[in-house]
Amino acid sequence: MEDLDLDALRVARAEQNGTEKAFKLGGERFALPAELPYDTAVTMAGGDMMAALEELLDEDRIASFHAQRPTVNDMFAIAEYLQTVYGSGPGESSASETS
């Protein structure tokens, strides 16, 4: 049996989905990784969006983000954006059809 080549799968996903995501706040662009890290998905599933952003952005960028004084509505919009660009988190699935 051939080894599972996760590197090749990442390359294929990057070709399909692009390499970087971003959002803007206060005229600043905040770049996000191309794929959602698993540990960040777990944090998001736990409902802590600020902790998830702190995992996604480096220290300098998170300080800039905090300086923009994001509102609750900003955080809701970011959460919706992350869900759209990254899909559902661990343990989540699409709604099942009713019988």
Reported as a single tens digit per residue, the pLDDT across 5-56 is 999 998 898 888 777 899 999 999 999 998 999 999 999 999 899 999 999 9
Residue 67 CB: number of other CB atoms within 10 A?
A: 11
SS3 call for 19: coil
Q: Residue 53: CB partners within 8 Å, gap ≥ 6?
A: 62, 65, 78
Query: Residue 88 has what pLDDT?
Result: 57
Distance between start and end Cα atoms, the chain: 40
What pLDDT digit, counting tens, does each position of 76-98 carry? 999 999 988 887 544 444 343 44
Residue ranges of domains in the chain? 19-86
Query: Residue 92 has what pLDDT?
Result: 44
Q: Residue 96: CB partners within 8 Å, gap ≥ 6?
A: none
